[in-house]
Structure 1
Amino acid sequence: MRVLPLYVVIGGWLSMPALAADAESWMGRLAMAEQKQSYEGTFVYERNGSFSSHAVWQQVEAGRVQERLLQLDGAPAEVVLVDGQMQCATDELAAQVREAQAWHGQRLDPKALSEWYEFRQIGDSRVAGRPAVALAVVPRDQHRYGFELHLDRDTALPLKSLMLNEKGQLLERFQFTHFSTDIDKQQLTASSGCKTVSISKREANLSSGWRSDWLPAGFKLLDANQRPSPASSETVSWLSYGDGLAKFSVFMEPLRGALVEDARSQMGPTVAVSKRISTADGDVMVTVVGEIPLGTAERVALSMRTGAEQAQR
């Protein structure tokens, strides 16, 4: 299962005793379970006040991970993946999965994450009729959100997650309503509406004509590329960054004299900040998109410079 952004209840949990050793052990179990545990279930997803429901199946056999995801609301939407690579998808999900597969180096590593997040065991819970343990993943600075994870006591997979901002406001919810380790293998077969797709696999590119003079501690360059602009004939430079949980992209598009104003917006956990900066070759619009606070995104946008050496902090 892909770990959806899973975030912490900041307020009341901060005054509770921290059971760090147990929490780190559970995080280690979660990291292992994602690639070893077969399961099926249905879950609800809430973002920006809207809800959707989904069915998911995952089978792990001889080291091969096969997944199928269905959206149960609105127009039918489906995707099938093998070892993380998309095999087929309906149009509604293909673009989302392609974007997700652009992220490299984001496999869960509790030891590395402990530098940027504090793990706490905060109690017991019950989700989808199954006993669970509740963990808090508290950010150590203001540049990322926290997590609340409700992990299944049997499999260590997340049955429920919440993402909240620094004010304790809910940004995103993910919660199973049914979960089972008894999987019906026939349900892994794609329907006739799932169109075969081909995605060329490539290694992450860590060289670019752009760099950031400032990054939040723990964030590293994951990938760099260029792509056509959807709004003009220009080529847009693209960089992706992550800390092992949080992630964001930075896009640089030459303006060529175009009059474009700065902008900022937020939809659920995702922010988009656009800033005009000046370079030797003319003005460029820098846009930062990702699951980080607005102030952090603005600071990253203003820090972008031409040159290949990345800031490491």
Structure 2
Amino acid sequence: MKKISLKIIALWLFPFLGFSAFADDFNAKQTLEKMAHAVNELNYEIAFVQTSPSNMDSFRYRHIKRDNKTYAQLVTLDGEQQEIIQRDNLVSYFQPNSRAFTLNSGNIVDALPAIIRSDFDKLAQNYDFIPLGKNRIAGRYADGIRIVPKDDFRYQYLVFVDEENGLLLRGDMLDREGKLLDQFRVVTLYIDDRLKGLTDYLNKVSMPPLLNEVKNTPPSLNWHAGWLPQGFESVRRSQDLFEGEVIDSALFSDGLFTFTLYVTQAQGSQPNQEQTWKQGEFTFYSEIIGDKEITFIGQLPVAAAKRIVQEVKFTN
């Protein structure tokens, strides 16, 4: 009864999206899993825009599977050209006015929604997947799905998956009130095995030097997150030295949203002094607790950010 009620409410709340209430029902989780498979296995090219309340950028992304290896290319379409090239487990960055470099990575993650790489069995522990019927995106029919958190500590997500090939055509990140925070939207889509010819070009591009990986360094300031929303885990920890000051950081993710905590020694400010501001999908929250300054930057509501910061624990 709960799932039926949620579905009816969702259809009532989002009439402006043009869903068809008369379309056949479908299994939302299976559709999402089909999307994850299509993104990784098809040979395709998409042009898309990424939009926030204050900015819009356009890109072209090409993905090719050849000889059991993955090749991909992401190129900006506005302003100075920036290019990211993937050759199997190596991803190279080419940007104007900066030195090119290469990272060990199995995917290009820049500008692409995290939802396409998510583990949906894991997400199902903390989110409900609600089918919303059919829509039309980029001239193609798509299945709409609303991804709703089971708590009040994170945002919601709408996805529109091509019903024929399974590729993501649109993804909307919304706050708890339904306000748009960020949108991924495909403008053109092209699927063809002839894209495999692009691998010849990608293999000829000179590979920039490989950067050293950031080690999972224990925090020097002896701290840990005392509370996290369910499903969030530490992904990476690092330590940097900036102008003689040690900065500990830790990246956390639940497979859909991410945030980073930064911990430094406080410099001449009063304890419990806090700062908060928002920029699109990102929340910035900083507070001085004792003699440490703790800063949150990530994709969670302010209330969640504040609690996470205030629950950071220190040991001697």
With over 3 angstroms needed to count, the CA separation of the structure-2 counterparts of 1:43 and 1:107, relative to structure 1, is closer
The residue type equivalent to 1:300 in the other structure is I
Aligned with 1:140 (options 150, 162, 166): 150
2:299 paired residue number: 291
Query: What does residue 12 of structure 1 align with?
Result: 13
Q: Which amino acid aligns with 1:170?
A: L
Q: Distance in 1 between matches of 2:217 and 2:68?
A: 29
Residue 31 (1) aligns with residue 58 (2)? no
Specify whether residues 192 and 169 from structure 1 end up closer, same or farther in structure 2 by C-alpha distance, changes over 3 A only.
Answer: farther
2:41 aligned counterpart, secondary structure: coil
Structure 1 counterpart of 2:163, from 124, 133, 153: 153
Please tell me whether the aligned partners of residues 269 and 288 of structure 2 are also in contact (alpha carbons under 8 angstroms).
Answer: no
Contact 1:271 1:294 in 2 (8 A): yes
> Which whole-Å deviations, capped at 9, do the CAs of 1:4-24 have from their partners, x for residues lacking one?
xxxxx797159x89x997001
Partners of 1:84 and 1:191 lie apart in 2 by 13
Tell me the residue number matched to 2:227.
Answer: 214
Please report how far the alpha carbon of residue 79 of structure 1 lies from its aligned counterpart in structure 2 after TM superposition.
Answer: 1.1
SS in 1 for 2:297: strand
Aligned to 1:311: none
**Match status 1:180 vs 2:190:** yes
Matching residue within 224, 227, 239 for 2:237: 224
- Check whether the contact 1:44–1:174 (CA below 8 A) recurs between aligned residues: yes
Say whether 1:70 aligns with 2:75: yes
The change in CA–CA distance for 1:307 and 1:108 in structure 2 (over 3 A counts) is farther
In structure 1, what is the Cα distance between the partners aligned to 2:306 and 2:276? Answer: 9
Which SS does the other structure have where 1:25 is aligned? helix
Q: Provide closer, same or farther for how the CA distance between residues 121 and 192 of structure 1 changes in structure 2, counting only shifts above 3 A.
A: same
Structure 2 length-normalised TM: 0.79
Quote how far apart the aligned CAs of 1:125 are.
Answer: 1.5
* Cα pair distance change 1:10/1:125, threshold 3 Å: closer
Question: Structure 1 residues 259 and 92 mapped into 2: Cα distance closer, same or farther (>3 Å)?
Answer: farther
Letter in 2 for 1:67: A
Q: CA deviation at 1:49?
A: 2.9
1:269 aligned partner: 281
Calculate the TM-score normalised by the size of structure 1. Answer: 0.80
Contact 2:214 2:238 (8 Å CA) reproduced:
no
Shift of residue 62, structure 1, vs aligned partner: 3.2
- Distance in 2 of aligned mates of 1:45 and 1:93: 23
CA RMSD of aligned residues (A): 3.5
Do the aligned residues in 2 keep the contact of 1:90 with 1:194 (CA within 8 Å)?
Answer: no
Q: CA deviation at 1:83?
A: 3.6
- What percent of counterpart residues are identical? 23
**Aligned residue among 235, 244, 255 for 1:233:** 244
Verify the 8 A CA contact 2:246 2:264 in the aligned structure 1. Answer: yes
Number of matched residues?
288
Query: Counterpart of 2:236 in structure 1: which amino acid?
Result: D
Pairwise CA distance, 1:116: 0.7
Q: Which of 111, 121, 128 is residue 121 of structure 2 equivalent to?
A: 111
Residues 44, 195 of structure 2: 8 Å contact kept: no
